[in-house]
Structure 1
Amino acid sequence: MLDDTDRRILRHYQADPEVPLSELAERAGVTGSTLTRRLERLREAGVLRGVRGVIHWPALGYEVEVSLRVTLDKTQPRAFDEFIAAAREVPEVLEIQTFLGQVDVRLSVIARDMPHYQRIYRERLLTLPHIADIEGLMHVARLKAEETLPL
C-alpha cells in the first residue's frame, strides 16, 4: 500500500507536523503538488487521521497520573458497554484500553494532586458500573513515550 515516497513523506511529517508544506515537500524530495496529492490519498485511505495539538498536562497543574486495572463483573451481559460509556464521561480519564485476560480494562487517569485524585477515585471511578476488582498503579516516570512509527 505504501511506497518509499509515502514512507519518506510520513517520516518527515510525523517528525515535524507543523512544518510548512513547501518545506515538507523539499525534505521528502517531492514537488509540492505531489506532496499534496499523496497527503490527500493517505488521508482518504485512513493512514493520516489528522493533526492534533499535544498538551503537556503537568504544565497545567496535573501532577498525578494513575493507571487503574479494572476487572468487570462479566456475569452482566452489558458490563463492558456500560462501564466504558460511563468511564468516557469522566474528564480526568485520558485513555481507556480493553484487554483479554484477568484485567478487562485499563484507565489512565490524571489529577492535580493526591487529594484531587482521591476525590475523583471515590466520587467518579468507584461509582462506575460493573466493577468486580480495581487496582491502582501510581505513575512514577515516563521513560519512553513515542507516537512515531519507524517508517
Structure 2
Amino acid sequence: MLDSDDRAILRQMQADPSLGVPDIADRVGMTAARVTRRIEKLVAAGVLLGQEAVIDWAALGFSVHVSLRITLDKTQARAFDEFIAAARAVREVIEIQTFLGRVDVRLSLVARDLAHYQQLYRENVLTLPHIADIEALMDVANVKSERRLPL
C-alpha cells in the first residue's frame, strides 16, 4: 500500500511533526507539490488522520494520571453504549478504550491532585452506569509512550 516515497514522507512527519511541506520535500528529495499530493492521498486513504498537539498535563496542573479498568454488567443490553456515553461527558477523562476479556473498558483520567481525583472518583466515576467492577491504577512513571511506527 505504501511505497518508499510515502514511507519517507511519513518518517519525516513522525520524526518532527513541526516540519512544513517544503522542509519535508527537501529532506526526501521531492518537490513541495509532489509531497503535498502524496500527503493528500495519505489523508484520503485514512493513513494520516490529522495532526495534534501533545499536551503535558502536569504542566497545566494535572499531576495525577489514573487508569481505571472497568468491568461492566453485561446483563444489560445497552450497558456499553450507556456507559461510554456517560464516560465521554466526564471532562477529565482523556481516553476511553474497549476490550475483549474480563476488563471491558479502560478510562484514562487526569486530576490536579489526590483530593481532586478522590472527588472525581466519587462524583463522576462511581456514578457511571452499569459498573460491575472497577480497578484503579495510578501512574507512577511513564517509561515509554510511543506512537511512531517503524517505517
Bucket of the pairwise TM-score, normalised by the shorter protein: over 0.9
CA-CA distance at 1:31 after TM superposition: 1.2
- Alignment match, 1:2: 2
- Alignment match, 2:53: 53
Output the CA distance in 1 between the equivalents of 2:64 and 2:95.
15
Q: Does 1:64 align with 2:49?
A: no
Output the CA distance in 2 between the equivalents of 1:29 and 1:148.
22
Matches within 5 A, 1:2-151: 2-151=2-151
Please report the RMSD computed on the Cα atoms of aligned residues, expressed in angstroms. 0.7
Output the CA distance in 1 between the equivalents of 2:97 and 2:31.
40
Output the CA distance in 1 between the equivalents of 2:103 and 2:139.
18
CA-CA distance at 1:20 after TM superposition: 2.2
Give ranges in structure 2 of 5+ residues lacking alignment. Answer: none
Output the CA distance in 2 between the equivalents of 1:102 and 1:143.
26
Q: TM-score, normalization: structure 1? A: 0.98
The percentage of counterpart residues that share the same residue type is 65
Give ranges in structure 1 of 5+ residues lacking alignment. Answer: none
Aligned length: 151
C-alpha offsets along residues 2-24 of structure 1, whole Å, 9 cap, x if unaligned? Answer: 00110000000111121121111
